[in-house]
Each structure stands twice: as C-alpha cells, then as structure tokens.
Amino acid sequence: MTPADPKLLANIRIVLARTSHPGNIGAAARAMKTMGLSRLYLVQPHVFPNSQADAMAASAGDVLAQAQVCTTLAEALEGTSLALGVSARRRDIVAEVLTPAESAARLLTEAQAEPVALVFGNETNGLSNDQLGQCQGLVTIAANPEYSSLNLAAAVQVLSYEVRQAWLQHPSWPEPELDAASLEDIERFYAHLETTLAELEFLNPGSPSKLMLKLRRLFARTRLEKEEVNILRGILTSAQEAKRLAGPRNRMAE
C-alpha cells in the first residue's frame, strides 16, 4: 500500500469563525495536530493571540503560530474550491447535508487539486446564514438530539479524526471530476448577479438577501466549473447591456 500523501492534509483548512474563547482556539489547534492537520484560519477571533490559547494548545503551539487571522470568511476561503460549513442546525441555506465521514472523502478528493475548507461557527451563535451561504455543503455530527451542541474544539476533533481515518484508509483518491471554479470567482459571480438583478428591477433593493440566499443554495448544489462561471457572467453582462439600451421600465405602459 502506498503511503497516504501528506500534501492532501496540508490542503485542508480548518476555519474558525468569530471564536469567543481563546482556550477553544488552542484546543482546536491541538485537535488538528493530533490528526496531522496544520492549516488554521481564524476569522475575527475575539481574543488572539492569548495565553489561554497557548496553554490549551499544549505541543501544538506551531499550529497557533502559523494561524492566519482574517477579517472576513471570504478572505479565509481565498484560493479554495470547496468549503463545507460544520453546523448542528439543519437550515435551508445549504442544500447538501453530509456526515463527517462523507465530508472527509469529499475534502480529500478535492484537496488533490485545490485547497479546501471546513468552517466552524461561534460558540454561542454557530454559523450565520451569511456564513453558511458561502459554503457548498453542510456537515452535521449526528449527536444526541436532546443536546447536540458539541464544544467547538470537540467538533474540530471529530472532523479532523474522520479526515485522518479516510486519508489513512484510502492512500489514493479519484481525480476530482470537474474543473471547479474558485470560491472567489463564485463570490464575484454572486455580486454580479445581485447587481444585474437590481438593474433589471427583479430584486427588491430593500431586501435582496432572501432571494440571493436562495440563489446561492441553487448554485451551490450544482458545483460550478470555471467555464460555467464565465458563461453565466457573460449572460449577465449581455442582460445589463440590453437593459441599458432599453432604458428604465415605463410602468405606465405596462
């Protein structure tokens, strides 16, 4: 059996969004290192760096030292082609719900080509709808339905463990099937779509977010390829040009 490729683990990011307790950041770093993961991204941590984080990290201080602190989730996801949100709550924001083992297989397959990410939420509020809208799938740890909320670092441990087991058991992975668009390109497409729909007066400019979340859910289900994003953006540009030539809608004439 060929040994599993360490580069795959290096392509898997653990993203912690708006973590409140620095001790959890340290414990998450330890959970990662015990399973061979090292790429920690912190989106607006409340307190970091911090002595409690260092203490809880124990011998995983190197993971903390290399952690990337980001101001937005989009920044933490730069360069990735797949982001899976880890959440106990089944919300209607993300269509696909995966088990930790399924998510590990998906992440390792994609990690052969591009970096990928697991995104964890804040201790009190979990992941926001907006944060989940930036993910293509949802990972739920099937826990006791009467009390299903694990400690943040414990959830990182469960997912990191599953990634390691999958990695050990499958030293080679099938090639990723598609030439997936990067998440930055997909975010640029969503911005273009929102502007165009506003120009076409299809979106209610007062509350565009509900429809945009539904459209994000739709496109996340299809896993867009690079070429498809280019085609969709070309269609949007044509629609914008046609609208500009036609001028504002004359409601009296309708």
Give the shortest CB-45-to-ligand SAH separation in angstroms.
13
Q: Say if residue 115 is preceded by a cis peptide, omega within 30 of 0.
A: no
User: Does 189 engage in binding with ligand SAH (CB under 6 A)?
Assistant: no
The β-bridge relationship of strands 116-120 and 12-17 is: parallel
Binding mask 159-188 for ligand SAH (x = CB under 6 A): ------------------------------
In the list 35, 43, 60, 127, the residue contacting ligand SAH (rule: CB under 6 A) is 127
User: Are the C-beta atoms of residues 76 and 135 closer than 8 Å to each other?
Assistant: no
Distance in Å, CB of 168 to ligand SAH, minimum:
23
Residue 155 lies near ligand SAH (rule: CB under 6 A): yes
Q: Does 148 bind ligand SAH (CB under 6 A)?
A: yes
Nearest residue relative to ligand SAH (C-beta): 126
Site string for ligand SAH, 220-239 (x = CB under 6 A): --------------------
Q: Which is nearer to ligand SAH, 165 or 240 (CB)?
A: 165
Distances (CA, A) of 228 to 56, 223, 247: 45, 10, 29
Q: Cα separations (Å) of 67 from 39, 54, 80, 152, 215? A: 7, 12, 16, 17, 33
Stretch that binds ligand SAH, among 63-71, 80-88, 208-216, 237-245 (CB under 6 A): 80-88
- Whether the CB-CB separation of 85 and 127 falls below 8 Å is answered with yes
Q: Cα(5)–Cα(169) distance, rounded to whole angstroms?
A: 12
Is 6 exposed, middle or buried, given 0-12, 13-18 or 19+ CB atoms closer than 10 A? exposed
- Asked if 140 touches ligand SAH (CB under 6 A), the answer is yes
226-246 and 183-199 helices, crossing angle to 10°: 20
232's enclosing H/E stretch is: helix 226-246
The reply on whether position 120 binds ligand SAH by CB under 6 A is yes
Asked if 123 is part of the footprint of ligand SAH (rule: CB under 6 A), the reply reads yes
Sign of CA dihedral 193, 198, 204, 205: positive
Applying CB under 6 A, does 121 fall inside the site for ligand SAH? Answer: yes
Q: Residues binding ligand SAH: what is the number (CB under 6 A)?
A: 18
In DSSP terms, 12 is beta-bridged to 116
Q: Does 88 bind ligand SAH (CB under 6 A)?
A: yes
Among 115, 126, 133, 137, binds ligand SAH (CB under 6 A): 126
Q: Using the rule CB under 6 A, is 87 a contact of ligand SAH?
A: yes
Binding site for ligand SAH (CB under 6 A): 86-89, 120-121, 123-124, 126-127, 140-141, 143, 148-150, 152, 155
